[in-house]
Structure 1
Amino acid sequence: MLDVVTLGETMVMMNPVEAGSLKYIYDYKKQLGGAESNFAIGLARLGHQVGWFSKLGKDPHGEYIKSFIRGEGVDTSQVKFTSKAPTGLYFKERRELGESNVYYYRHDSAASRMKPEDLSEDYIAQAKYLHLTGITPALSDSCHKTILEAIEIANKNNVKVSLDPNLRLKLWSKERMREVMLDLFKQADIVMPGIEEGEILLGTDDPEEIADQILDLGAEIVIVKLGAEGALVANKEAKEEVAGYSVERVVDSIGAGDGFAAGFISGQLRGANIVDSTKLANAVGAFATTVIGDVEGLPTKEEVEVFTGQKEAITR
């Protein structure tokens, strides 16, 4: 039995060994990145049973991705391979000033060819949660249909749906993005937008207004991410702002949102209330920023307990 099932594209990531413009970077470290697999690995490290599904190219990059994710304790039994399209690739550009940039080489990738027929109802039905992001429906029409089919399967089998918008403006127009994402908000039980995502999709950067609008669309729980300040968590009964955790030096912020989502769902799986689940989400998200790479900084349950002061670190 799995606690959570998720699906989406994971790509090989070329991560520069130093910060600066890619025009002047010559050395890279090969890693991987994908919002859904980041989330899956984060949950697995926190002690949960997670399954991740995707379609990969029948190439060395696809084999590397599957092996790495499986090695992190995530079930990959439903992953499919195709020789008709390659595994996606992207380059990360890290800056000391400002946000990191990402350059994608994913057009017509293997994952963009996912289709509803690739899904196993039995696989999704065994889980407590189905976790999705707004990246997958942006990849292709067939990926969008696959997401909708997965939600239908989840609803049919009483599986809760969590959604992290994870907007990728490079993949589609704002008009199409709003149309699809607002429809997904209506179908999700838990929605985890950031402030900027709320402004793009809903026309407001007020956390309470963002939460209210998404709750009105049908979600049961909304967590609005506020960056270093923490998050606002809300349901129909109450709203509460939950303070974040300070980090002395942010090394790499990409992947922190996926860690946040993993932390919140972990709390829910353990029976915590929405405020305590948000505290855990803040801790995991903050911890993830301390290491270069999308998943390398995601903590174990014990590391979170030490980080938040619940347990004393024993180093010698």
Structure 2
Amino acid sequence: MSTPKAPGCADRPAVDVLTFGETMLCVHTPGPLTAGAGARITVAGAESNVAVGLARLGHRAGWAGRLGADEPGRTVLRALRGEGVDLRHASADEAAPTGAMLRETRAGDIARVHYWRAGSAASRQRPDHLAAALADGTRILHLTGITPALGEGPRAAVTEALRHAREHGWTVSLDVNHRERLWSGAQAAPVLRSLLPGPDVVIASEDELPILAGAAGDGERQRVAELFAEGVGEVVVKLGAQGARIHHRDGSTTEAPARRVPVRDTPGAGDAFCAGYLSGLLDGLGAGRRLERAVVC
């Protein structure tokens, strides 16, 4: 796949990658909350994780999400700004809170996660909230399957951003990133399939591919062929401990093995993968090298 081009020297886009979606205040406890365990505060959000990863890799990444006009929202902004993410188009909702999550470590790497995101500022995002960010432009628009699960407003925002990107010739990446606690595969499938043929790059795990393409009994190649028929440029399949694979439109594939490293925490691993892959795309790397960068990240 070719390197994403800027719209032109005269109107250089504000960022290399633009994304938006829900970012929450995250409270981590090393044990059950009822046991009085101490807590660590971070921020959590797939799209902003990708933006942070890209900023760390030297790219201009912008996040145009919505937060509550509250202390959790200000904490999120401080954290993202500290990572070098462009927040000029992040905005506050005076009437809704910032979403939150609690992650309790139970035993070993087993954790229990609780969410408070119903009615959050992010769930009230509308297409008009993105107008300025879209006007400023980007080389890549990065979307996930999480945002349209948040409600009708975010779903419309994704659709409008995708329409604008296609109209202006931007590269579009879509990470399926299915969250069963937000919606079932049966609920997600018609919504995400309605985004086709918009994305140039689709990123999905093996078990997420059926949500976007294919029928029961279809294999990976059949599902990928369906995505190509819909106009997708390339399909990146995450294989967990086995690494990852790119399917190209000519029927060939490129693979990279996973690196053997001690596992500290798995949440966010897929977001880091996306950041590495998009970084390689921005830098004009060939398929093998950008997949290696994604796996390393």
Deviation at 1:120, TM superposition (A): 2.2
User: In structure 2, what is the Cα distance between the partners aligned to 1:98 and 1:213?
Assistant: 37
Deviation at 1:162, TM superposition (A): 0.3
1:245–1:143: structure 2 CA closer, same or farther, 3 Å change rule?
Answer: same
Could you tell me which of 211, 232, 240 is aligned with 2:224?
211
Matches for 1:136-155 after TM superposition, within 5 Å = 136-155=147-166
Give the residue type in structure 1 aligned to 2:193: L
Deviation at 1:200, TM superposition (A): 4.8
Match of 1:224 in 2: 237
Runs of 5+ in structure 2 lacking a partner?
1-13
User: In structure 2, what is the Cα distance between the partners aligned to 1:167 and 1:228?
Assistant: 19
Could you tell me which of 267, 270, 292 is aligned with 1:254?
267
1:138–1:128: structure 2 CA closer, same or farther, 3 Å change rule?
Answer: same
What TM-score, normalized by structure 1, do the two folds share?
Answer: 0.83
Deviation at 1:52, TM superposition (A): 0.4
User: In structure 2, what is the Cα distance between the partners aligned to 1:179 and 1:102?
Assistant: 27
Please give the secondary structure, in 2, of the residue aligned with 1:241.
strand
Please give the secondary structure, in 1, of the residue aligned with 2:204.
coil
Deviates most, 143-152 or 211-220: 211-220
Please give the secondary structure, in 2, of the residue aligned with 1:184.
coil
Deviation at 1:160, TM superposition (A): 0.7
Please give the secondary structure, in 2, of the residue aligned with 1:41.
helix
2:113 pairs with 1:102: yes
Deviation per CA, 1:141-172: give whole Å up to 9, x if none: 01100000000111111111101011111112
2:74 pairs with 1:60: no
Match of 1:281 in 2: 294
Deviation at 1:114, TM superposition (A): 0.4
- Equivalences, count: 281
Match of 1:76 in 2: 87
Aligned 8 A contact 2:89 2:133 in 1 = no
Deviation per CA, 1:94-147: give whole Å up to 9, x if none: 455676443211001001110011112564552110001000000010110000
User: In structure 1, what is the Cα distance between the partners aligned to 2:69 and 2:293?
Assistant: 37
User: In structure 2, what is the Cα distance between the partners aligned to 1:172 and 1:121?
Assistant: 30
Match of 1:292 in 2: none
Match of 1:307 in 2: none
Match of 1:157 in 2: 168
2:190 pairs with 1:176: no
User: In structure 1, what is the Cα distance between the partners aligned to 2:242 and 2:125?
Assistant: 37
Please give the secondary structure, in 1, of the residue aligned with 2:197.
helix
Matches for 1:6-85 after TM superposition, within 5 Å = 6-18=19-31, 21=32, 24=35, 26-85=37-96
User: In structure 2, what is the Cα distance between the partners aligned to 1:209 and 1:41?
Assistant: 34
User: In structure 1, what is the Cα distance between the partners aligned to 2:208 and 2:73?
Assistant: 31
User: In structure 2, what is the Cα distance between the partners aligned to 1:205 and 1:89?
Assistant: 38
Deviation at 1:28, TM superposition (A): 1.6
User: In structure 2, what is the Cα distance between the partners aligned to 1:162 and 1:37?
Assistant: 15
Give the residue type in structure 2 aligned to 1:196: D
Please give the secondary structure, in 2, of the residue aligned with 1:128.
strand
Aligned 8 A contact 1:6 1:53 in 2 = yes
Query: Which aligned segments of 4 or more residues in structure 1 are displaced greater than 6 angstroms?
Result: none
1:239–1:78: structure 2 CA closer, same or farther, 3 Å change rule?
Answer: same
Deviation per CA, 1:250-276: give whole Å up to 9, x if none: 111000000000000000100001221
User: In structure 2, what is the Cα distance between the partners aligned to 1:240 and 1:12?
Assistant: 37
Runs of 5+ in structure 1 lacking a partner?
285-316
- RMSD over aligned Cα atoms: 2.0
Percent of aligned positions that are identical: 37
Aligned 8 A contact 2:28 2:39 in 1 = yes
User: In structure 1, what is the Cα distance between the partners aligned to 2:217 and 2:142?
Assistant: 25
Aligned 8 A contact 2:204 2:236 in 1 = yes
Could you tell me which of 2, 15, 23 is aligned with 1:2?
15
Deviation at 1:242, TM superposition (A): 1.6
1:34–1:206: structure 2 CA closer, same or farther, 3 Å change rule?
Answer: same
Please give the secondary structure, in 2, of the residue aligned with 1:178.
helix
1:180–1:118: structure 2 CA closer, same or farther, 3 Å change rule?
Answer: same
Aligned 8 A contact 1:40 1:262 in 2 = yes
Higher relative contact order (CA 8 A, sep 6+): 2
